[in-house]
């Protein structure tokens, strides 16, 4: 079983990585498509109702139905960075409250990719509130489940 590892990205960033037995191109298609985020999600908050493009570019917006603590809601995020070529791929979007979710995919071989997911909240409108609500710890658990789930999907 693939081991999810903690990554130090500095203050107010929660990041984890795992090596997945799949090519970078295949994984990038999933991460760059907000309509597929529900199948990737390990937190249980992302729902399947999505509007927006199926392959995002920097500046795009997409809306996702969410559910947390039993309460449904919808968020519209703005894509802040996409790197779609080469052995290192990136997809990052900003939540309406300012925090960012980032996926980095680095090819480590023809059939393996190091996948790093991070929750960066130094850009949030109220980072202290997120800390008081224990969102960094909660999101760390969700990221770990997401990456474990992704690695398990491709386990050889």
For residue 156, the model assigns a pLDDT of: 77
Other C-beta atoms within 10 Å of 63: how many? Answer: 14
For residue 105, the model assigns a pLDDT of: 98
The answer to whether 52 and 62 are in contact (CB under 8 A) is: yes
Q: What is the pLDDT of residues 126-150, one digit of tens each?
A: 999 999 999 999 999 999 999 999 9
Burial of 138 per CB tally in 10 Å (0-12, 13-18, 19+): middle
Averaged pLDDT, 74-89? 95
Q: What is the pLDDT of residues 26-39, one digit of tens each?
A: 999 999 999 999 88
Question: Per residue, what are the HEC states of the chain?
Answer: CCCCEEECCCCCEEEEEEEECCCHHHHHHHHCCHHHHHHHCCCCCEEEEEECCCCCCCCCEEEEEEEECCEEEEEEEEEEEEECCCCEEEEEEECCCCCEEEEEEEEEECCEEEEEEEEECCCCCCHHHHHHCCHHHHHHHHHHHHHHHHHHHCCC
pLDDT at 1 over 80: no
Rounded CA-CA distance 152/156 in Å is 9
Q: Give 64's strand partners.
A: 50, 75
Report the mean per-residue pLDDT for the chain.
Answer: 94
pLDDT band at 45 (very low <50, low <70, confident <90, very high): confident
For residue 68, the model assigns a pLDDT of: 86
Question: Hey, what are 145's tokens?
Answer: 């489940």
pLDDT at 98 over 90: yes
pLDDT at 46 over 90: no
Instruction: For domain 5-153, give its CATH number from 3.20.20.60, 3.90.1150.10, 3.30.70.2860, 3.30.530.20.
Output: 3.30.530.20
């Amino acid at each position: 079983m693939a081991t999810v590892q903690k990554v130090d990205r500095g203050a107010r960033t929660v990041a984890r990585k795992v090596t997945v037995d799949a090519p970078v191109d295949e994984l990038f298609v999933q991460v760059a498509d907000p309509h597929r985020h529900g199948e990737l999600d390990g937190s249980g908050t992302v729902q399947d109702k999505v509007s927006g493009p199926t392959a995002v570019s920097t500046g795009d917006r997409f809306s996702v139905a969410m559910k947390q603590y039993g309460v449904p809601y919808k968020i519209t995020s703005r894509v802040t960075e996409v790197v779609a070529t080469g052995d290192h791929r990136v997809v990052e979007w900003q939540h309406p409250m300012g925090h960012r979710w980032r996926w980095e995919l680095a090819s480590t071989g023809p059939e393996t990719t190091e996948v790093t997911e991070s929750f960066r909240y130094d850009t949030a409108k109220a980072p202290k509130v997120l800390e008081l609500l224990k969102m960094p710890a909660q999101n760390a658990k969700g990221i770990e489940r997401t990456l474990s789930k992704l690695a398990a999907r491709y386990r050889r």
